[in-house]
């Protein structure tokens, strides 16, 4: 019998590298398939470095890189990021921080040189201690960290390098100027390559992500309706396509990601339909509303797993108003998402939201009539909870649609003419006064 | 009348810097108060740089930094992080990546030198393009990025610098050796300062954060009981201390943070009660269970805001079993958290979990008897939803306690003797067979 603890036989030693290679290949293929822009970015990165080589090889008359090429390489490696926003943010941070810190350190050395050799060493050491310590402390501030973290690191770096350098005062200014120029050249190469070759706008990414998150919520709700109010039981073939029931889960933990994207998007210049002062903060507000809805959906999804415990008989009593709520909420969300994708605004209240609210009122009316008279309370409660969560979700959907409309107003999207062909449906079972409001194209 | 658009009067020009200074001061004070270790870290950072200055000033006989000091400074600035795990991870990444990339680039230049001047330039340029592009592409892999992102950046950097350097082949090896040595010295200074002066162990932080998140859940539940089943209405003085009702919200978006901490914790050596192969993955599993519970709590918290809509009369009918569920769940969670904090394991099932499950069964029995006979269904449903969510939460609490116990087993925590003085209470209203299990100290 083999020792189960020792899996390191000759066979595994031979097979492991093989499976590792296969896994590695699969990973690489998946990375490229998931987002082909990753391949473009890698090529852009290689190209930017080739540009530096060419720059060095042809030695333009106005400037010879020489061994300063190192600084151009360091700059490109650290500054050239996937998105334009990140690249511009890091580039500006790098150039400004280098200039400020370099200037400060040169001034410090000039002043310190009045104090004799020993005095100079002491003064520089004490300054390095305090300046580096203070900047390091400020890096803990979440607000400063979000926009200027890289700048603060570079400030520390440049200040210490210039202050502690062994170069004599006479050469110092020259060396500092050369390096700053090299860093500016590196930054320009990085920014040019990033913007001119298939640019990735992180603002556009955030916009698309928010729009597709709204659709994920709608898809879940529609999937929930089909599964929960389905009397057929679970068939094997239906099992295949239930990914939409889990797709919304990525929303639950998207907060940090959205915040980073919004910060980076602010560095981006006017592009496509995004103006210079695009209301990026509103995306975070909208993202929070979507997340609140996703938390409710997480609570709702529990009842999908346990729908077998509630007889179809009981579920079916609330099927109609619930299905209406879901249909209208789904339409409202999908229309909002479409408006967002098309940079359009409707200028009037979404009729599907009104319909969803009416459906929610009619669900309340049904509940008021005690639809489950005589049934076991333990079987009723899950169904009642589903009803209650759906009523809550209508409220969330309304908030999401309002936030989308607010964004459209803040960003001055153009009024759309193709949307809102819907009809506001009256509540069928209230006081009898029927107002049908049809909104023409 | 003043123009509301133009806020830039003389007064604001004078006041703005003042308020900015006050805001800045408040921010700094808050940063220090929130976590005094931040101040220590800033001082450590300054001290590490002073160590380099001293090293350079006294010029030890075995090695003269000279202008290579720059590399020591760069290394300390980038490697010295807040926690030991991050510092060790970055330090190892830096040294290994520099050594590998440097070796590869030197080898490449040796081979390229056989191809004549032009052939050499072409070969080096093509290699830089492919190597840098490939490494950049691999940085998109979430698994590699988590542990080796910094290493991959440094690999790119070093490979390009050495490959593109204008140094002649004869000097190259010497320069490369010197720089590697400087980087190793910088890394050693960073790691020594990080570990020897008030070290911050990120593993300990993760451990504490998970334990305190469990308490946050328990606190919310107890606060919920006091608020929801309170007939007194909301008094002004009670408003003050409701922070515990929102404290759990940080758990909802803690996933990314916990994952980063777990990755960094793996770099840390044996320290305190943490062994070398501490089961950090289990913390993520436990964190997920806690988050699942927090999502349910988020759904529950809605009913707290709307408790006015449900008459106390209706809420009071389920008060006793609900209060029992909350009491026992709270005790179970707090005991689990305490065990975690004390690195102890109980070795037996938590009696409070059993009690909470019994309370949940007795809530079900109460519900089965139709406690709200004759009341308006619309008023019943919120209360029924609260009951249903509480029953769900008991399930989550059980999962959390199991995950804590699993962690205690995997990490070989010592059996505790002071815990579990509880008594398993029987369900009062079932078949009448009463088994009281008392667990002695």
Instruction: For residue range B311-370, list pLDDT tens digits in order.
Output: 888 888 888 999 999 999 999 999 999 999 999 888 777 889 999 999 999 998 888 887
Is the Cβ of B377 closer than 8 Å to some Cβ of chain A? yes
Please compute the mean of the pLDDT values over residues A385-401 and round it to a whole number.
92
Interface of B with A in 35-64 (CB under 8 A): 35, 38-39, 41-43, 45-47, 49-50, 52-54, 56-57
Q: Does A434 touch chain B (CB under 8 A)?
A: no
Closest C-alpha among B353, B382, B394, B388 to residue B367:
B388
Per-residue pLDDT for B302 more than 90?
A: no
More confident position, B288 or A60: B288
Which residues of chain A make contact with B377, given a CB cutoff of 8 A? 367-370
Best B68, B377, B382 residue to mutate vs chain A (most A CBs within 10 Å): B377
Contact A385 B385 (CB under 8 A): yes
Check if B122 contacts A (Cβ < 8 Å).
no
Which pLDDT score is estimated for B239? 52
B166 with A66: Cβ contact below 8 A: yes
Among A39, A125, A157, the residue with its CB nearest the CB of B73 is A157
Per-residue pLDDT at A355 exceeds 70: yes
Produce one character per residue of A91-118: b if its CB has 16 or more CB atoms within 10 Å, e if not: bbbbbebbbebbebbbebbeebeeeeee
Looking at A54-68, B3-17, B22-36, B194-208, which range is the least confident one?
Answer: B3-17
Please enumerate in sequence order all residues whose Cβ is within 8 A of that of B149, keeping only pairs 6 or more positions apart, or say none: B139
Q: Give B246→chain A minimum CA distance, Å.
A: 14
Q: What is the pLDDT of residue A23?
A: 87
Please give the residue that has the higher pLDDT: either A22 or B434: A22
Residue pLDDT, tens place only, B106-123: 999 999 989 988 888 899
Q: How many residues does chain B have?
A: 441
Q: Sign of torsion, CA A36 A40 A41 A42?
A: positive
Which residues sit opposite A424 in a β-bridge?
A437
**Could you tell me how many CB contacts below 8 A there are between chain A and chain B?**
209
Mutation target among B23, B385, B396 for the A interface, most CBs of A within 10 A: B385
If you average pLDDT over every residue of chain B, what do you get?
Answer: 85
CA nearest to B182, candidates B266, B72, B280 = B72
CB contact under 8 A, B299 and A299: yes
Coil, strand or helix at A331 = helix
Is the complex ipTM higher than 0.90? no
Supply the pLDDT for residue A242: 73
Residues with Cβ within 8 Å of A344's Cβ and at least 6 positions away in sequence, in order, are A408, A413, A414, A415, A416, A419
CB contact under 8 A, B53 and A124: yes
pLDDT at B373: 77
Q: Which is higher by pLDDT, A349 or A227?
A: A227
Say what the pLDDT of residue A215 is: 95
Q: Using CB atoms within 10 A of its CB, is residue A392 exposed (0-12), middle (13-18) or buried (19+)?
A: buried
Determine whether B175 is exposed, middle or buried from the number of CB atoms within 10 Å of its CB (0-12, 13-18, 19+).
Answer: middle
Q: Residue B11: what pLDDT?
A: 66
Non-local CB neighbours of A135 within 8 Å, separated by 6+ positions: A152, A155, A156
Read off the pLDDT of residues B34-83 as tens digits, 9 standing for 90 and up: 999 999 999 999 999 999 888 877 766 556 556 678 888 999 999 999 99
Give the confidence band of A431 by pLDDT, cuts at 50, 70, 90: very low
Decide if A221 contacts A324 (C-beta within 8 A): no
Per-residue pLDDT at B2: 41
pLDDT above 90 coverage of chain A, percent = 52
Nearest CB to B46 within list A52, A130, A302: A130
Q: How confident is the model at residue B439 (pLDDT cuts 50, 70, 90)?
A: very low
Q: Exposed, middle or buried: residue A337 (CB in 10 Å: 0-12, 13-18, 19+)?
A: buried
pTM for the complete prediction?
0.86
Burial class (CB in 10 A: 0-12, 13-18, 19+), A78: buried
């Amino acid at each position: 019998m083999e020792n189960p603890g020792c899996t390191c036989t000759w066979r595994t030693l031979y097979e492991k590298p093989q499976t590792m290679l296969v896994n590695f290949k699969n990973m690489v293929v998946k990375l490229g398939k998931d987002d082909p822009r990753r391949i473009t970015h890698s090529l852009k990165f290689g190209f930017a470095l080739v540009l530096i080589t060419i720059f060095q090889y042809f030695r333009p008359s106005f400037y010879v890189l020489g061994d300063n090429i190192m600084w151009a390489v360091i700059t490109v490696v650290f500054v050239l990021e996937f998105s334009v926003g990140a690249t511009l943010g890091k580039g500006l941070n790098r150039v400004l921080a280098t200039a400020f810190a370099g200037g400060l350190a040169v001034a410090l050395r000039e002043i310190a040189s009045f104090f004799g050799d020993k005095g100079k060493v002491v003064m520089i050491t004490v300054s390095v201690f305090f300046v580096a310590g203070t900047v390091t402390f400020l890096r803990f501030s979440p607000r400063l960290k979000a926009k200027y973290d890289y700048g603060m690191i570079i400030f520390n770096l440049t200040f210490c390098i210039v202050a502690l350098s062994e170069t004599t005062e006479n050469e110092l200014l020259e060396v500092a100027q050369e390096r700053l120029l090299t860093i500016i050249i590196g930054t320009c190469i990085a920014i040019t390559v990033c913007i001119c070759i298939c640019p990735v706008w992180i603002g556009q990414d955030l916009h698309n992500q928010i729009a597709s998150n709204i659709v994920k919520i709608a898809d879940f709700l529609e999937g929930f309706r089909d599964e929960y109010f389905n009397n057929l039981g679970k068939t094997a073939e239906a099992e295949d396509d239930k990914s939409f029931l889990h797709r919304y889960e990525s929303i639950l933990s998207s907060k940090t990601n959205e915040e980073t994207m919004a910060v980076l998007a602010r560095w981006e210049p006017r592009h496509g339909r995004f103006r210079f002062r695009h209301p990026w903060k509103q995306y975070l507000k909208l993202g929070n509303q979507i997340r609140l809805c996703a938390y409710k959906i997480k609570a709702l999804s529990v009842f999908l797993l346990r729908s077998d415990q509630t007889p179809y008989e009981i579920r079916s009593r609330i099927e109609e108003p619930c299905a209406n709520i879901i249909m209208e909420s789904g339409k409202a969300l999908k229309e909002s998402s479409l408006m967002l994708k098309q940079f359009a605004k409707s200028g009037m209240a979404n009729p599907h939201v009104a319909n969803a609210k009416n459906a929610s009122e009619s669900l309340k009316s049904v509940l008021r009539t005690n639809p489950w008279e005589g049934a076991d309370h333990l079987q009723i409660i899950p169904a009642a909870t589903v009803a209650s969560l759906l009523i809550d979700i209508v409220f969330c959907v309304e908030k999401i649609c309002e936030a989308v409309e607010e964004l459209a107003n803040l960003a001055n999207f153009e009024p759309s003419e193709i949307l809102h062909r819907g009809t506001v449906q009256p509540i069928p079972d209230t006081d009898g006064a029927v107002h049908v409001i049809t909104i023409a194209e």
